[in-house]
């Protein structure tokens, strides 16, 4: 047989059909309709060749001296916030060369790999600045390999962002440490516990330094053990991306699914007690700024990871200095030796690798606090946004997720579909009722209380339920949670969408194909498959035996009216 002629002359691109159908959005030009004639705008082009001004970089100085390890026993730690000169030097290096662009994964296809995204730019930035940062990407990945479960889904290799696969997210009510999601904005510092201390300063009466032994001294600070759910505000972002992309202000952005949430028992002390020991706040201090010791890159600048929470939160004993997670020393990847845990706030405030707490008057002006983690109104985006348009996200709203089954799955059942998932509400509210619908959210079944895990003030509740489903064909299963303040979730992803792709709290929806074996006809057909030894899956493969005998077919038409009606 002659081969098909593939090179037929055409003015269309090879993937024109996909582009027309919105399946290759990254290649669609922006249309300018402000003039009588439509105009396609050109794309931002990245130079094919990267540039590097060696002279300028050399003039900055020796990175081994400029960016040295800040403290003995703190591998990977460079302090930036007290050193404007260092910041300027790093900025000069970063602006004296170009780096490859970020891969497009929102409007284009998401890579089918694990890690999904490599984080090439962040690796190159660390190498470009050099000094103590050179080793950080490798140290971090080695830490992932050592501390995390082999089945983790690595969304971003560096900075490391990973979540457990759906089947393991709610496998246990308390998340095992090696399966807890990880969200990093930079590398993982390797800190020697015996060389560790952190500084409590800023607007407190008596600033002072604390070692871990000081904090563990129960004669000074009462011990605290709390089971806490940490949820990233990016949880379930993928639903927004797949329907309506945006641009996460949270950089680098991970295409999180439902696994960026985890629950653990943390041991430590209340930050309030430390502030009290420092003589309390002075001069109208109202916020506490937390310093994480890894290097964060933003706009060609180097900085440490900084955020803040209001004093009112600390005063309520809802901010903890934690050194244990589920009865073990904090894993390095989760902040060893000391992290902040802020109950009921987005994960971003629970700073890992803490080296300083500073009492300040206004919320932190650091970018993670002021320019990122903002919840914008829907009409705000690249073309018009200002930071002040966004609400700084602190408490998470009520939310939930279906961990099983999965979208596009075919389910053979006896009238009930086994479902599993989680429900959570931020700010100290808790799931009071969880409901499932098998008809897209028209009718709801309440999950019996005995099918929900324990009720606690600061944690999720995992659940399982055999959801009644009589109908066959594609059905949409929806989950919704009511918290104790009677808040519930908006029905559609559209109502949750925002430019920063945060807080995906709309009802989680999955589409499954229902095959109800309690119906005799379905049971008979499935037996035919079994008898013939033909697998039923996938459903899109045509039936390989007759759906009906011709005798049976003729009998039908003898007993019923013909296909077409006749005039009387
Ligand atoms: N120092 C530091 N602390 C950090 C981060 C970070 O990048 N650096 N990420 C924050 C974010 S956005 C989240 S969601 C939580 C995640 O905590 P985990 O990695 O222990 O699950 O850590 C927070 N604390
Ligand atoms: Mo986060």
Q: pLDDT per residue over 244-287, tens digit each?
A: 999 877 777 889 999 999 999 999 999 999 999 999 999 999 99
pLDDT at 3 over 70: no
Residue 7, domain member (yes or no): no
pLDDT, tens only, 164-182: 999 999 999 999 999 999 9
pLDDT tens digit sequence for 394-406: 999 999 999 999 9
Name the residue of 136, 232, 236 whose CB sits within 8 Å of the most ligand 1 atoms, as the mutation to test its pocket: 232
C-alpha to C-alpha distance for 372 and 501, rounded to whole angstroms: 11
Residue at which a domain ends, from 357, 392, 427: 392
- Report the alpha-carbon distance of residue 156 to residue 161 in Å, rounded: 5
186 shares its domain with 326: yes
Cβ atoms within 10 A of the Cβ of 370, count?
A: 19
What residues sit around ligand 2, an ion, with C-beta below 5 angstroms? 183, 232, 347-348
Do residues 74 and 190 both lie within one domain?
Answer: yes
Tell whether 220 is covered by a domain. Answer: yes
Residues 302 and 406 in one domain: no
Q: By alpha-carbon position, which residue is closest to atom 20 of ligand 1?
A: 334
Helices (H), 437-549: 493-496, 520-532
Instruction: Determine contact, residues 250/373, Cβ cutoff 8 Å.
Output: yes
Q: What is the mean pLDDT of the chain?
A: 96
pLDDT confidence bin for 195, thresholds 50/70/90: very high
Indicate which residue's Cα is closest to atom 18 of ligand 1: 182
Same domain, 440 and 493: yes
* CATH number of the domain within which 285 lies: 3.90.420.10
**In this predicted model, what pLDDT tens digit does every residue of 94-103 receive, in sequence order?**
999 999 988 8
- 491, 443 Cβ separation under 8 angstroms: no
The answer to which of 132-141, 260-269, 294-303, 535-544 has the lowest mean pLDDT is 535-544
pLDDT confidence bin for 116, thresholds 50/70/90: very high
| Parallel, antiparallel or unpaired: strands 319-325 and 161-163 | unpaired
Q: Would you say 340 and 290 are in contact if contact means Cβ atoms under 8 Å apart?
A: yes
CATH of the domain at 407: 2.60.40.650
Share of the chain above pLDDT 90, in %: 91
Q: What is the whole-number distance in angstroms between the Cα of residue 233 and the centre of ligand 2? A: 5
Closest-approaching ligand to the CA atom of 340: 1
Alpha helical stretches, state H, 1-134: 16-20, 54-60, 63-66, 84-95, 120-129
Residues 6+ apart with CB under 8 A from 370: 363, 364, 387, 392
Question: What ligand 1 atom has the least distance to the C-alpha of 294?
Answer: 1
Query: Taking 60 as the threshold, does the pLDDT of residue 548 lie above it?
Result: yes
Number of domains present in the structure of the chain: 3
Ligand 2 center from residue 81 Cα (angstroms): 22
Which atom of ligand 1 lies closest to the CA of 234?
14
pLDDT digits (tens, 9 = 90+) for 452-496: 999 999 999 999 999 999 999 999 999 999 999 999 999 999 999
Residue 46 lies in a domain: no
460 and 502 within one domain: yes
104 — pLDDT class (breaks 50, 70, 90): confident
* Centroid of ligand 1 to alpha carbon of 554 (angstroms): 68
- Residue that terminates a domain, selected from 366, 392, 418: 392
Q: Which of 152, 159, 183, 169 is nearest to 258 (CA)?
A: 169
Nearest CA to ligand 1 atom 12: 348
Q: Is 261 exposed, middle or buried (0-12, 13-18, 19+ CB in 10 A)?
A: buried
Query: Which DSSP helix (H) or strand (E) runs through 143?
Result: helix 136-147
- Does residue 280 share a domain with residue 353? yes
| Ligand 1: lining residues by beta carbon, under 6 Å | 180-185, 230, 232, 292, 294, 305, 334, 347-348, 350-353
For residue 180, the ligand 1 atom closest to its alpha carbon is 21
Looking at the structure, do residues 433 and 467 belong to the same domain, yes or no? yes
What distances in angstroms separate CA 240 from CA 158, 233, 255, 426, 509, one per listed residue? Answer: 23, 13, 9, 20, 12
Q: What is the pLDDT of residue 47?
A: 79
Q: What's the pLDDT score for residue 5?
A: 62
Residue 545, judged by CB atoms within 10 A of its CB (0-12, 13-18, 19+), counts as exposed
Residue 44 inside a domain? The answer is no
Residue located nearest, by CA, to atom 24 of ligand 1:
351
- Counting ligands in written order, which one lies closest to the CA of residue 234? 2
Whether the upstream peptide bond of residue 489 has omega within 30° of 0, thus cis, is no
Which residues fall within 8 angstroms of residue 379, CB to CB, at 6 or more apart?
none
Contact 426, 413 (CB under 8 A): no
Q: What ligand 1 atom has the least distance to the C-alpha of 186? A: 7
Q: Note whether residue 508 is domain-resident.
A: yes
Give the per-residue pLDDT at 6.
63
Q: Which two tokens stand for residue 148?
A: 């995390």
End-to-end CA distance of the chain: 57
In this structure, the answer to whether residues 126 and 210 fall within a common structural domain is yes
User: How many CA atoms are closer than 13 Å to the CA of 401, on its beta-carbon side?
Assistant: 26
Tell me if 566 is assigned to some domain: no
pLDDT at 7 over 80: no
User: What SS3 class is residue 144?
Assistant: helix
Instruction: State the residue range of the domain holding 552.
Output: 520-559
Pairing of strands 431-437, 445-446: antiparallel
User: Do residues 90 and 174 both lie within one domain?
Assistant: yes
Tell me the CA–centroid distance for residue 490 and ligand 1, in Å. Answer: 27
- Integer Cα distance of 90 and 85 in angstroms: 9
Flag whether 239 is in a domain. yes
Residue with tokens 């949670």: 481
pLDDT for the residue 107: 84
CA of 181 relative to ligand 2 center, distance in Å: 10
Residues 473, 416: one domain? yes
Atom number of ligand 1 nearest to Cα 185: 7
Q: In this structure, what are the phi and psi dihedrals at residue 508, rounded to the nearest 5 degrees?
A: -75, 130
Between CA 256 and CA 243 the distance in angstroms is 14
Element (H, E) at 241: helix 237-243
Q: Are both 384 and 403 inside the same structural domain? A: no
pLDDT at position 2: 60
CA–chain centroid gap for 299, Å, is 22
pLDDT bin (cut points 50, 70, 90) of residue 1 is: low
pLDDT band at 323 (very low <50, low <70, confident <90, very high): very high
Boundary (domain end) residue, out of 334, 369, 392: 392
Q: Average the pLDDT over each of 13-22, 29-38, 375-384, 461-470 and give the range with the smallest value.
A: 13-22
């Amino acid at each position: 047989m002659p081969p098909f002629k593939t090179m037929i002359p055409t003015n269309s691109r090879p993937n024109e059909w996909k582009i027309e159908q919105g399946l290759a959005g990254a290649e669609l030009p922006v249309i300018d309709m402000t003039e009588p004639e439509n105009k396609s705008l050109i794309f931002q082009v990245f130079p094919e060749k990267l540039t590097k001004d060696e002279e300028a970089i050399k003039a900055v100085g020796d990175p081994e001296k400029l960016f040295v390890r800040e403290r003995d026993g703190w591998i990977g730690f460079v302090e930036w916030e007290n050193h404007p000169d260092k910041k300027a030097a790093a900025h000069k290096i970063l602006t004296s060369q170009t780096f490859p662009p970020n891969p497009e994964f929102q409007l284009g296809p998401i890579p089918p790999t694990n890690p999904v995204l490599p984080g090439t730019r962040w690796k190159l930035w660390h190498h470009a600045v050099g000094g103590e940062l050179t080793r950080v990407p490798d140290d971090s990945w080695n830490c992932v390999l050592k501390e995390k479960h082999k089945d983790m889904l690595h969304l971003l290799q560096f900075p490391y962002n990973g979540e457990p696969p759906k089947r393991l997210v709610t496998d246990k009510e308390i998340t095992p440490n090696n399966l807890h999601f990880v969200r990093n904005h930079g590398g993982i510092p390797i800190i020697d516990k015996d060389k560790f201390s952190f500084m409590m300063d800023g607007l407190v009466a008596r600033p002072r330094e604390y070692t871990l032994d000081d904090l563990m001294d129960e004669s000074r600070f009462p011990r605290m053990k709390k089971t806490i759910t940490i949820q990233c505000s990016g949880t379930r972002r993928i639903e927004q991306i797949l329907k309506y992309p945006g641009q996460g202000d949270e950089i680098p952005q991970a295409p999180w699914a439902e696994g960026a949430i985890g629950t653990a028992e943390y041991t430590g002390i209340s930050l309030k007690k430390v502030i009290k020991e420092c003589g309390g706040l002075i001069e109208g201090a109202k916020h506490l700024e937390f310093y994480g010791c890894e290097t964060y890159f933003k706009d060609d600048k180097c900085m440490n990871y900084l955020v803040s929470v209001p004093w009112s939160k600390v005063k309520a004993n809802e901010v903890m200095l934690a050194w244990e997670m589920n009865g073990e020393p904090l894993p390095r990847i989760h902040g060893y030796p000391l992290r902040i845990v802020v109950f009921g706030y987005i994960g971003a405030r629970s700073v890992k690798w803490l080296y300083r707490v500073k009492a300040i008057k206004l919320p932190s002006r650091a970018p993670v606090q002021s320019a990122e983690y903002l919840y914008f109104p829907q009409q705000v985006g690249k073309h018009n946004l200002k930071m002040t348009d966004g609400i700084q996200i602190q408490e998470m709203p009520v939310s939930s997720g279906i961990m099983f089954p999965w979208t596009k799955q075919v389910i053979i059942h006896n009238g009930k579909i086994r479902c599993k998932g989680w429900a959570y509400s931020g700010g100290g509210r808790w799931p009071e009722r969880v409901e499932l619908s098998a008809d897209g959210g028209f009718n709801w079944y309440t999950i019996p209380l005995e099918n929900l895990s324990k009720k606690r003030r600061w944690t999720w509740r995992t659940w399982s339920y055999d959801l009644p489903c009589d109908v066959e064909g594609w059905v949409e299963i929806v989950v919704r949670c009511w918290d104790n303040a009677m808040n519930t979730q908006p029905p559609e992803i559209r109502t949750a969408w925002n430019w920063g792709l945060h807080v995906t709290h709309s009802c989680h929806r999955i589409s499954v194909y229902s095959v109800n074996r309690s119906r005799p006809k379905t049971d008979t057909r499935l037996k035919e498959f079994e008898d013939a030894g033909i697998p039923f899956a996938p459903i899109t493969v045509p039936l390989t035996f007759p759906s009906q005998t011709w005798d049976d077919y003729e009998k039908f038409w003898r007993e019923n009216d013909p296909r077409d009606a006749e005039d009387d």
